[in-house]
Structure 1
Amino acid sequence: METRYYVIFAVTILALQVLIYIFNRTLGWLYGGVLSQKGRYIFVFTSYVFTNSVAILTATRLFPMFRLLPFIMVFLLFSLFVSLALVLLAWVFKNYSKIHRTLAWLYPIGMAGLIGLGVYNAYTPQIVHYQITLDKPIRPLRIGMASDFHLGKLFGAKQLDQLAEIFNQQKVDLILLPGDIMDDNVDAYLSQKMQPSLAKLQAPLGVYATLGNHDFFGDQQRIVEQIKQAGIKVLWDQTETINNEFVIVGRNDDLVKDRPSTAQLLQSVDTRLPIFVLDHRPTEIEQISQLPVDLLVAGHTHNGQIFPANLITKLIYRLAYGHEKIGNGHFIVTSGYGFWGVPMRLGTQSEVVIIDVKGKE
């Protein structure tokens, strides 16, 4: 395992201890009289043992709990936010004895409010519009783009129906889906019969997808077959020229270490035509900006999904979210239509991207 993963694990465990400590201090501050001293000690000890056990068992994959661990961490993070707000209130209203009971009531209300907001942001997509002008001639084109569905038990047919309706209302000419279509496998996709809903994603110039890292966790063959059966073309490090008007390049996620470079893929196409690249992770933006690529669409970052993770993604990627023109190319990274781990977003929102493309006069 690479050194960075050990560093990430160590930082995560350290952050977890801080969050557990603040959580227990908050409960002790607000509800200290509910339990005896012995009961409080048992509660604190149990919270540390249980939470760290879940983290270690998941990290070592001895008994992975990829749903439970993120939920615990998000819950503790939300507790931190509410605790900070209550401390501020206690400082503003100096008479602590009178406000203490109010703060004790506000804690669960604040937690419920943050969780409700997080669920709302995860399941209520916003439509984000971009207008770009290429340095090559092309007729006006409207592209619909969405990524990171993570189709599974918590996100499925209903959300796909909604996405299809949005694309239809927006009258898109082309749909691009840059990866993480499934959440690791197709088990939930098949059991919940999502194929008719996925097949509703249609556009006059076609629907094209690439695979993301979660599509490459061992079930990629079945994933590709299911996507194809829904009428969507999957590009495995492949190119497709559409009506001799533009070229679509679909790259496998960089989890595939021997994938060909974008430059290699472009050798087989006419680069005088507009080039649209689907690449799940925005890891090679600077290299690709040196190539005759006109538009790259990516996802993966989720724009952090839960604040303050968006600050971390900004440090990791040249472009972690949004649109930027670099050189002659336009680069767009979406926060994703779905979510990973927990059905919540804070500081970000589920989104569908609409790109209006114009060509050089």
Structure 2
Amino acid sequence: MKTAMFSRLVLTIILYSAFTFYISWNVHLWLQSTFSVNIPGLVVAVIFLLSYSYVLARFLKKLLFLKYIGSYWFGIIQYTLLLLPIADFIGWLFIFAGFSSDRVIFWVGTVVLLGMISILGLGTFNAYNPVIREHEIEIEKETSFSSLRVVMASDMHFGHLSGKTHANRLVQEVNSLNPDLILLPGDIIDDDPEPFIQKGFGSIMENLSATYGVYGVLGNHEYYGGGIPIYTKEMQRIGIPILMDETVVLEGGIQLVGRKDKTDRNRKHIENLLESLDETKPIFIMDHQPLELVQAAEHGADLMLSGHTHRGQMAPNHLITRRIFELDWGYLKKSQLHAFVSSGFGFWGPPLRIGSRSEILLIDITFTKNSLRT
């Protein structure tokens, strides 16, 4: 097992380095043709430093700029690897047709460069400027009120790039919607709880305000950071309970179930969490990863909120998430179950979103079978 894992790691490093060299060589050709600069060794060294800066940041935590560079590099390498083969093919066609190689390299390279600048600009805007997506649903269950306004935000990844300004934006946007209930289904922090605590994110998030409270669950990145006890203690301090295979009964008899993330192999089966609940009353589930929709519907759940997918974050990655999950983004009704998957309020890695937006979900619920209505 360890040999196989080591072999895959070595193969990944070789392929990644090969891609990096391919990008370096194209940059060298463009610099040579445009500015008569012939320093291939330096270009390769700089590009390789950029490509491994995120890894270096894991060991040199005080050099935060390495993490910033490395995060953007993930986006740069994806789109250069999509654009460069096409650009090279077009360039070869023009050169084969008799055009000057220097002029072809200059113009094709310039178009790629402008394209990358546009992608980075648009992607950054989409990442830091969330939209509100509004939904209205009906649930045929009994409560002591006729309607409920739920606001949901997931995948904030608060830490460094998704910083305090973005956190303040979340609080302002969510509170402006006058929610009855705020739900945060996982990946609230970006792995390590230390920057979340040291930078005072808690003092910002404790300003979230809803009539019936604010609740969250763990995502996979809370597990990656290895600081769940520290993180949950901080969240409890600011009045945001993190439910871990737990159920709380809210006003009106609403039963809110918060699941541990799938990362935890010891998390309870969904049927064990739901079997003792009253199916005549509303059952809401938060599960970070959008899995087991069928089981949730079969066991009487009415609302299921998830995140995790980021809708691929950077197109065309959404084609992958669409194949992995039955619902990778948006809304799906399965029997009585209303399932929602958010693309997330923040981002992982590059602060870029192409083909997706940072978002907050506003879900207005009407309870139509309501003998207890007041």
Q: Is the 8 A contact 2:185 2:217 kept in 1?
A: yes
Aligned length: 356
SS at match of 1:289: helix
| CA distance in 2 between partners of 1:81 and 1:344 (Å) | 16
Are positions 1:109 and 2:114 aligned together? yes
Q: Which residue of 2 aligns with 1:341?
A: 349
Q: Which amino acid aligns with 1:330?
A: H
Moved more, 183-192 or 19-28: 19-28
One-letter identity of the residue aligned with 1:108:
L
Matched, 1:77 2:78: yes
Q: Per-residue CA shift, 1:180-235, capped at 9, x if unaligned?
A: 11122222122222222101111001111111111123211111111111111221
Report the CA distance shift for 1:357/1:89 in structure 2 as closer, same or farther (over 3 A). farther
1:197 to 193, 204, 208: 204
The equivalent position to 1:351 in structure 2, one of 332, 355, 359, is 359
**Structure-2 residue corresponding to 1:294:** 302
Residues 157 and 198 in structure 1, CA contact (< 8 A), matched pair in contact too:
no
1:212 lines up with 2:219 in the alignment:
yes
2:135 maps to amino acid: Y
- State the secondary structure of the residue aligned to 1:234: coil
Given that 1:183 and 1:215 are in contact with CA atoms closer than 8 Å, whether structure 2 keeps it comes out as: yes
Secondary structure in 2 matching 1:233: coil
Does structure 1 conserve the Cα–Cα contact (< 8 Å) formed by 2:20 and 2:48?
no
**Conserved in 2, the CA contact under 8 Å of 1:147 and 1:180?**
yes
- The alpha-carbon deviation at position 150 of structure 1 amounts to 1.2
Q: Deviations over 1:298-318 (max 9, x none)?
A: 111111112222211112111
* TM-score under structure 1 length normalisation: 0.85
**CA deviation vs aligned residue, 1:256-292 (integer Å, no higher than 9, x gap):** 1111122112233212111000011112223223210
Equivalent positions of 1:107-256 (< 5 A) are: 107-138=112-143, 139-216=146-223, 217-256=225-264
Q: Which amino acid aligns with 2:264?
A: V
Q: What is the deviation of 1:10?
A: 7.5
Unaligned runs of 5+ in 1: none
> Match of 1:278, as an amino acid?
M
Q: Is the 8 A contact 1:31 1:104 kept in 2?
A: no
Change (3 A) 1:168 1:326: same
Cα deviation, residue 72, structure 1: 3.0
Aligned equivalents of 1:360, 1:236: Cα separation in 2:
30
Q: What amino acid does structure 2 have at the position aligned with 1:241? A: V
Structure 1 residue 240 displacement after superposition: 0.9
Mapped to 1, the partners of 2:349 and 2:185 lie a distance apart of: 19
Contact 1:177 1:208 in 2 (8 A): yes
Which range moved further: 263-272 or 322-331? 263-272
C-alpha contact 2:74 2:349 (8 A) present in aligned 1: no
116-125 or 292-301, larger mean C-alpha shift:
116-125
- The Cα shift of 1:68 comes to 5.8
Query: How far apart, in 2, do the equivalents of 1:29 and 1:99 lie?
Result: 11
Paired letter, 2:263? L
Inter-partner Cα distance in structure 2 for 1:270 and 1:29? 68
Q: If the length of structure 2 is used for normalisation, what is the TM-score?
A: 0.82
- In structure 2, what is the Cα distance between the partners aligned to 1:9 and 1:296? 36
Map 1:269-348 to 2 at 5 A: 269-348=277-356
Instruction: Note the residue ranges of structure 2 that are not aligned, 5 or more in a row.
Output: 370-374
Amino acid at match of 1:145: M
TM-aligned CA distance change 1:258 to 1:309, over 3 Å: same
**Cα pair distance change 1:123/1:107, threshold 3 Å:** same
Check whether the contact 1:127–1:352 (CA below 8 A) recurs between aligned residues.
yes
Q: Distance in 2 between matches of 1:4 and 1:280?
A: 30
What SS does structure 1 have at the residue aligned with 2:301? coil
Percent sequence identity is: 30
Cα distance in 2 for residues equivalent to 1:95 and 1:356: 63
